[in-house]
Amino acid sequence: MTNHSNHSHSSHPHHHGGGGGSSSAGSLSTTETLSLLALSAACVAVLLNTFQDDGAPLSASIALSGIAFAASYAMIRWLGPTFLRADIKGVDMSKLHRREIPECMGAICAVVYLLVIMVFIPFPFYKDIVAATSGGGNRDVVLHVEHVQQGRFLHRFPHSKLASYLSAIIALQSIALLGIGDDLFDIRWRHKFFIPAFAAIPLLVIYFVDFGVTSIVIPIPLQPYLGELFDLGGLYYLYMTAIAIFSPNSINILAGINGIEVSQSIVIALLLVLNDCLYLFTPYPHPATDSHLFSLYFLLPFLGVSCALLAHNWYPARVFVGDTYCYFAGMVFVVVSVLGHFSKTLILLLLPQIFNFLYSAPQIFGLVPCPRHRLPKFNARTGLLEPSVTPWTPERQPRPPVRWALLLLHRLRLVRVTLDRETGLFAESTNLTILNLWLVWRGPLREDRLATEITAVQLLVGLFGLFVRHRLALLVFKEDNWGVAGGSPPP
Amino acid sequence: MTNHSNHSHSSHPHHHGGGGGSSSAGSLSTTETLSLLALSAACVAVLLNTFQDDGAPLSASIALSGIAFAASYAMIRWLGPTFLRADIKGVDMSKLHRREIPECMGAICAVVYLLVIMVFIPFPFYKDIVAATSGGGNRDVVLHVEHVQQGRFLHRFPHSKLASYLSAIIALQSIALLGIGDDLFDIRWRHKFFIPAFAAIPLLVIYFVDFGVTSIVIPIPLQPYLGELFDLGGLYYLYMTAIAIFSPNSINILAGINGIEVSQSIVIALLLVLNDCLYLFTPYPHPATDSHLFSLYFLLPFLGVSCALLAHNWYPARVFVGDTYCYFAGMVFVVVSVLGHFSKTLILLLLPQIFNFLYSAPQIFGLVPCPRHRLPKFNARTGLLEPSVTPWTPERQPRPPVRWALLLLHRLRLVRVTLDRETGLFAESTNLTILNLWLVWRGPLREDRLATEITAVQLLVGLFGLFVRHRLALLVFKEDNWGVAGGSPPP
């Protein structure tokens, strides 16, 4: 909803190919070319080495992530002029010189990411020993498939997990398709809110067909009443749908300044990687190892493409990421946490997004008027951002409960209300987004400073969340992460 | 390559929202609404009935295909104005009044199709009997999974086939994504020729990981030398890649007049359905039943969305289908035939496309100059189509071997060459596409008449191909369709 607010959309009539570009528009500098080539060469070397090592999918994943970074970095630069020519562009409204820059570059990241994730499939899943079938009906005859998973750090998956890996790819491809549609057609936010629900369909259908586990572990204090496990049944699918809708949208509404969509996604991904490492580098093999390897395989390439995008999208932005990126990032978090059975942890990491959503709710649901643009106001004189405001006319004043609530929030310094001196009527109130709130607290800030501070908040809240998760969970659950005790080979 | 030639592309500067539309632009007539609602209601009734019948995936597939038709038909109408507004539009050059109409509507069909295919997953694959797991590590414990496939017409698949179904979805989603990119950015044909290769990656990777069968059956006369089976190894992947590149591109280059892309695809799909039925309705259960059911499940919804598209794209077209549709259609044929192991049959059905490709080759590879537009020439006076020509200037004349070949083809009536009366130099020659060739043979034709006749040729050639396939194959193979003898439950 606020994502489109920092630029006019591609479908508006702009003159063609205008706005100039930076001097390097469309091509890489020599330094960039050499660095990317060196990185790619190193990654290819690591990748080739994993073949000799008979496996080591984690090394392969890291190497492919480096390649994903290099490929995205170069392609975002190369394809910028193409996007401009195809009228997929926007205007940065928080700059003195408003230039047209390419929009929807997250689509490039999504395509590179998907390609890398597909190329990666053989590394964890390859059946070493397939019976030399006759080409007839015996192609399912596999000898010694249980022997494939040997040793902890070989990290080959039981073959049965292939379906869940594929379902994750399908969900991510779906969100990329729908996100591109959203970017092209500028769908109204009331409709686009449900776009991720469609992308969640493959995830839910395959979960239903392939796993069907809908039980949750009950905290110890409640076990006498509900038993050790409680089968949520259909409610579990509703719960997964809710997460699948919330996560992509929550990234999408914490937007509006250069770099914030990508930097928050990178922080969340890093925290999820940290969480995964807590399970992988334990003194004893943790039963949830597989789930967290699965998570790493999806998160590492995501970090690769996101860092490449951030390099171009950070202040001053030379490209916009588009809704595609926000949805895609949110869906990456959904697939790893839902298929890895740690969706509760994801919720802890999304606390700033949840706060932003709740804080925005009065405007989203129409209690407070919602202007088309809610991004912070750019003060052309100082070059700094200030909180943007909703004006209240004497004819349109808040209803008494809203008025009362806004004044209370004003006292708590959670919003800034300006009253008309003479009449005492509401003149204006700051827009209800976390970015404006931060500006209410920390005064005018430059765009990159605001993005850095919000990203730091995201990191600190997330670290605290993980601390709570791993230290305090043991107080209410008998064992940590019981529900994901996977890894047992198929019977 | 010729697909874009019947309209200027969306990225060209058109005035906005212009060109008017038909009176019903963007909304359905009452008759249409009632018919679509009746169809949908009937299909939903059938679908609900299959739940009671404990299965019958084939009925469910037919019902979902009906719903896919209704949904595509309505959405193509509804979203037309949205596409126009987003500048995704083209101009029909073979009409007296050149109006702007929406382009790339095949993307709508692709999205509806993919959604339907995903919703369908539970019908053939649902594990009836899943152990009531504790939510712990036992989620792979399945009781009596072999009992799921009981009786021939219940048609539940062994669960192990889920991965191949998912890989087909991933390949189709990939081609949709890449096709939309092509439609948006108007990629040069030398580059776009390889787009399907990228979409084939998931198919090949999952084939490698999950099946890995690379043997082919040797015809009886050659068996003394090569043995009964011959393992192609890596060559088999090259062969699959070649088919995956050829099929989508071959649909894409037989294009240029209203309806031809969709009508040829519908004919090929119908012939594949007929081929499948030859295996399903045999007096004894055929070992390849599963492969051909798999094929039907993908082809029936494709026929649904294609018929809806044809209704809008047939002469006089109110929408264009875009490269997305052509690639998507070609990829549907690839996934069903590669995963069903009947890719040789597909080649028989693509004979007109193969002819068109070979016939076009001199222009594609630059032996004969290739103008940007090769579609038949619209004669505004008669309202009929005539063969379009490549002009030869006195400065640029064909080289001797090309000259000789063109004159030979002219004698064989496979091209029409016009020589300059006085100098004897080449003045012009007809463009090398099957559409122009047909016009050389059958004189000026109206656009719909040409499309109908080419579609009829496609149908007759395909029927002949299937006849050859099923009557004559037994002469050189011991058993029909040996290679796909699937259906044996996993060990």
Span of A314-328, B359-373, B382-396 with lowest mean pLDDT = B359-373
Beta carbons of A103 and A114 less than 8 angstroms apart: no
pTM of the entire predicted model: 0.86
Helices (H), B314-446: 322-339, 343-349, 351-364, 400-411, 434-442
pLDDT at site B161: 78
Assess B324–A contact: CB distance below 8 Å, yes or no: no
Q: What is the Cα B474 distance to its own chain's centre?
A: 28
pLDDT at site B118: 92
Phi, psi of A65 (to 5 degrees): -65, -40
Assess B491–A contact: CB distance below 8 Å, yes or no: yes
Q: Give CA torsion, residues B235, B241, B247, B253, to 10 deg.
A: -110
pLDDT at site A268: 97
Residue of higher predicted confidence among B204 and A319: A319
Span of A5-14, B23-32, B313-322, B416-425 with lowest mean pLDDT = A5-14
Helix (H, G, I), strand (E, B), or coil: what is residue A407?
helix
Residue of higher predicted confidence among A96 and B455: B455
CA A83 to CA B54: how far, in whole Å? 50
Assess A169–B contact: CB distance below 8 Å, yes or no: yes
For chain A, what is the radius of gyration of the CA atoms?
Answer: 24
**Domain spans of chain B?**
13-365
CA A291 to CA A279: how far, in whole Å? 9
Beta carbons of B245 and B204 less than 8 angstroms apart: no
Using the beta-carbon criterion (under 8 Å), do B490 and A140 form an inter-chain contact? Answer: yes
Quote the tokens at residue B202: 């998931």
Quote the tokens at residue B426: 């080449």
Quote the tokens at residue A53: 């090592």
The shortest C-alpha distance from B341 to chain A (Å) reads 10
Using the beta-carbon criterion (under 8 Å), do B216 and A135 form an inter-chain contact? Answer: yes
Beta carbons of A156 and A104 less than 8 angstroms apart: no
Q: Sign of the C-alpha dihedral, residues A313, A319, A323, A327?
A: negative
pLDDT at site A477: 63
Span of A225-234, B314-323, B381-390, B459-468 with lowest mean pLDDT = A225-234
Of A127, A134, A158, Cβ closest to residue B229? A134
pLDDT at site B221: 76
**B49-88 pLDDT tens trace:** 877 665 578 889 999 999 999 999 999 999 999 999 988 9
The shortest C-alpha distance from A79 to chain B (Å) reads 10
Residue with tokens 């096709």, as numbered in its chain: B179
CA A220 to CA B467: how far, in whole Å? 69
pLDDT category at B141 given cuts 50, 70, 90 is very low
pLDDT at site B203: 87
Sequence-separated contacts (24+) of B419-427 with Cβ below 8 Å: B420/B394, B423/B394, B425/B392, B425/B394, B425/B397, B426/B392, B426/B397, B426/B398, B427/B391, B427/B392
Residue type, B58: L
Does A489 sit behind a cis peptide bond, omega within 30 degrees of 0 on the bond before it? no
pLDDT category at B415 given cuts 50, 70, 90 is very high
Using the beta-carbon criterion (under 8 Å), do B118 and A205 form an inter-chain contact? Answer: yes
pLDDT at site A202: 87
Beta carbons of A88 and A103 less than 8 angstroms apart: yes
Using the beta-carbon criterion (under 8 Å), do A485 and B137 form an inter-chain contact? Answer: yes
Of B140, B167, B186, Cβ closest to residue A488? B140
Residues of chain A in contact with residue B166, where contact means CB-CB under 8 angstroms, are 163, 166-167, 170, 206
Using the beta-carbon criterion (under 8 Å), do A141 and B198 form an inter-chain contact? Answer: no
pLDDT at site B157: 57
Query: What's the whole-number average pLDDT of chain B?
Result: 82
pLDDT at site A62: 94
The DSSP string of A165-198 is HHHHHHHHHHHHHHHHHHHHHT--HHHHTTHHHH
pLDDT at site B69: 97
Q: For testing the chain B interface, which of A141, A187, A209 should be mutated: the one with the most B CBs within 10 Å?
A: A209
Per-window interface: B 108-137 vs A, CB < 8 A: 111, 114-115, 118-119, 121-122, 125-127, 130, 133-137
Q: Give CA torsion, residues A352, A357, A358, A359, to 10 deg.
A: 80
Q: For testing the chain B interface, which of A134, A180, A217 should be mutated: the one with the most B CBs within 10 Å?
A: A134
Residues of chain B in contact with residue A111, where contact means CB-CB under 8 angstroms, are 177-178, 181
Strand (E) or helix (H) holding A391? strand A389-391
Neighbours of B286 (CB within 10 A): 20
CA B420 to CA B412: how far, in whole Å? 20
Span of A307-316, B131-140, B338-347 with lowest mean pLDDT = B131-140
Of the candidates A102, A91, A95, the one whose C-alpha atom is nearest the C-alpha of residue A8 is: A91
Residues of chain B in contact with residue A176, where contact means CB-CB under 8 angstroms, are 177
Neighbours of B130 (CB within 10 A): 18
Using alpha carbons only, give the angle B110, B112, B116 rounded to the nearest 5 degrees.
115
Assess A88–B contact: CB distance below 8 Å, yes or no: yes
pLDDT at site A158: 60
Altogether, the residues listed in chain B come to a count of: 491
Q: For testing the chain B interface, which of A184, A237, A290, A331 should be mutated: the one with the most B CBs within 10 Å?
A: A184
Question: For chain A, which ranges sit under pLDDT 70?
Answer: 1-24, 52-55, 126-160, 211-212, 474-491
Chain A with chain B: Cβ pairs closer than 8 A: 181
Residues of chain A in contact with residue B10, where contact means CB-CB under 8 angstroms, are 86
Of A141, A170, A215, Cβ closest to residue B169? A170
CA distances in angstroms from A91 to A24, A87, A258, A373, listed in the order given? 19, 12, 12, 13
